[in-house]
Amino acid sequence: MPHLFFFMACPHSLGEADAFTGWIGLKDADLNSHGSFMGFFQYQARDLAGATHKGVLEAVSEAEAARKLKSGRLYPVSIKAVKSRSRRKVPQEHVIRFFYDLSDLLEAGLSVDRALALISTNQSHKVFRQVVKDLFEEVQGGSDLSESLGKYRDVFGDLADHMVRAGEASATLGPILKKFAQYLEQQKAFRQTLISSMIYPGILLFTSMISLVVLLVYVIPNFAQIFQDLNQEVPLLTEILLQTGIFVQEYGWIFPLLLGIAFFGIRSSHRNPKVRGTVDRLLFRLPFTRFLIVHSELTRFCRTLGTMMQSGVPMLKSLSLAQEVLMNTVLKSSMSTLHREIKAGHSMSNFFRTQSTFPPRMGTMLRIAEEQGNLASGLLGLAEYFEREVHRTIQRLMTLLEPAVILFTGSIIAVMVISMFTAIFGIHDIQF
């Protein structure tokens, strides 16, 4: 369960700006899967038609930058390392609203540069307003919107420029921008549902712990003082609680310190691929956490792949990008050969049917979608199904967790009360 709770407190970038990291959901912005530090590389490349593309991408080395370009069917002319820059932090609601507004203005007949100019004047967030102004200047200077968005992947994510490029090629930029905004909105809603489901149990557990601390630190010691004034021996159970309260009173500061060390220790160990892989494999062996990991990851994978294919992004490119949203090392390893299988001409449904890691429904529904010639819609339908399953499971967990917390803390408080009443009934000879 710590795996799940840490994940739910850690929103993930699924085409969005990465803000946090976690065992299930978060890729680190500064390190790759081998623990190497990422850097920025400015590139100039050509596509198959001979058109020139310029931009900035994140990679560990020039060789990896070239590999990323070639995977997107771009052939590098020059690659140059540039000074690393800090990630711009922009609330995701601003990014979602940006794509909605841009879509509406384009469908109303405005040009891209004029739409960007209007949107920039209405931005309340200082950093994002400057980003939109930069986009406007680049588009006005002759750059494509997709090329410009590729320079701001720390703000718009890794998927935006690819979907916009597909929209530009098919002359359906407005509808595709709206589809991408809906995708981001669905991802945000999915994450918020997971987080909000933990709020009430978290508050309940916190208040219960505060009540126990008050009883141990203030009530029990004062009660024991009465016995000392009456020259009575304190009963064993009351004495144990009294000594526990004294320990908490004198050394209670250690507990927040240990929690802080544990938190930063988890974050630090997450950056170690070996530790992360070990934890992922361990949690994957547990039936309950395995279910949550698989269904959460497949929700993001299917929604990302389906949205990009439906928007006209080539299948192999969509698959490469969709696999990037998988952060569990076990699941990512299981899906590592999918790209090669598809490239060899095999069906996607056949791959998932032969992999025991994935639910049987995955292969079955994809086969039906392939037969109907509507794979993108099938993937989006699977994303909705897996999301409902995660919500239902979390809801059941919370339904069980709330009374469990009440029963646990109630039992401890009952023991304290019983110890006090036992002590009172044991008073036999009051000396003045």
**pLDDT confidence of residue 39:** 67
The pLDDT of residue 207: 85
pLDDT at 368: 94
Burial of 296 (0-12, 13-18, 19+ CB in 10 A): buried
**Which range has the worst mean pLDDT, 6-15, 203-212, 375-384?**
6-15
pLDDT for the residue 82: 65
pLDDT at 83: 53
For residue 381, the model assigns a pLDDT of: 93
Of 221 and 145, which is predicted with more confidence? 145
Which of 97-106, 149-158, 216-225, 410-419 is most confident? 97-106
Domains and CATH numbers, the chain: 30-85 (3.10.20), 92-190 (1.20.81.30), 197-432 (1.20.81.30)
Give yes or no for residue 155 having a pLDDT over 80. yes
pLDDT at 428: 55
Alpha-carbon distance 432 to 423, whole Å? 19
Q: Tell me the mean pLDDT in the region 405-412.
A: 84
Measure CA 76 to chain center: 32
Q: Rounded mean pLDDT of the chain?
A: 79
**Rounded mean pLDDT, 84-100:** 79
DSSP lists the bridge partners of residue 80 as 42
In whole angstroms, give the CA distance from residue 338 to residue 348.
Answer: 7
| Alpha carbons 316 and 297: distance in angstroms, whole number | 19
Residue 140: CB atoms within 10 A of its CB come to: 14
Please tell me the predicted confidence (pLDDT) of residue 12.
Answer: 37
pLDDT beyond 60 at 85: no
Cα dihedral 236, 237, 239, 244 sign: positive
pTM as predicted: 0.64
Q: Which residues pair with 76 in a beta bridge?
A: 45
Q: Which of 32-41, 148-157, 228-237, 329-338 has the lowest mean pLDDT?
A: 32-41
Give the span between the Cα atoms of 390 and 412, in whole angstroms. 32
| Out of 35-39, 263-267, 363-367, 426-430, least confident range | 35-39
Q: Could you give the dihedral angle defined by the CA atoms of residues 62, 67, 70 and 74, in that order, rounded to the nearest 10 degrees?
A: -30
pLDDT at residue number 86 = 53
| 294-298 average pLDDT score | 90
pLDDT category at 366 given cuts 50, 70, 90 is very high
Q: Evaluate if residue 338 carries a pLDDT over 70.
A: yes
Give the integer Cα–Cα distance in Å for 137 and 285.
Answer: 52
